[in-house]
Amino acid sequence: MQHNVLGQCLCKSVEYTIENLSDNLNACHCRACQKWVGGPLMALEGTGELKFKKGKELVTEYHSSEWGSRSFCSKCGSSLYYTSKHDGKYYMEIGSFENLDDDKIHFTQQIFIDKKPKFYEFANKTKEYTEQQVFDIVAGKSK
C-alpha cells in the first residue's frame, strides 16, 4: 500500500489523498475510458476515505454509466478518478499522484481487453478480463 500520497490535477487547484491506495496498477481499455483519458485508464485502486486538501468544489462528477462515475477538475479538465457504484471503490488516475514510490507499483490487471485497439500492446504479463467477464464480476456471477 502507498501511504501519504498526494493527488493533484494539472492546474493544482484540486489536491487529495485516499486511504488504502493499492500498489497494483490496473488498465481499462473500454471505449468510455479511451474517450475520457485519450487511451487506456491507468489507475490504482483506492478504498477508504477520499480526503480533499483543497478544491473539492472544483471536482465535477459525471455519471457515465449505471455502474460508475468519472470525476475531473472543472477548471483544467484533468481526469482524477473513477468511482465504482457496485462496491464504492475508487480507481485513481496514476498520473495525478506526485510522490508515488514507483518501485512498489506492479502492473497486474487489464480489463475490457477485447476493446483494446490493435495499435498498442503492453509488454507486462497481467491478468486480462473481457467486457463480458467484467460485467459478470460486477453482477456477482463470477470472480
What digits encode the pLDDT tens for the residues 65-90? Answer: 988 999 999 999 999 999 998 889 99
> CA angle 9-129-32, nearest 5°?
40
For the chain, give the mean pLDDT: 94
The pLDDT value given to residue 83? 96
* Sheet containing strand 15-18, strands side by side: 7-8, 15-18, 50-54
Please say whether the beta carbons of 46 and 19 come within 8 A: yes
For domain 7-138, give the CATH number: 2.170.150.70
Q: What is the pLDDT of residues 16-37, one digit of tens each?
A: 999 889 999 999 999 999 999 9
pLDDT at 143 over 70: no
Tell me the average pLDDT across 87-100: 93
Report pLDDT for 1. 85
* Domain chopping of the chain, boundaries: 7-138
Identify the weakest region by mean pLDDT among 66-70, 112-116, 122-126.
66-70
Rounded distance between C-alpha atoms, residue 64 and residue 26, angstroms: 19
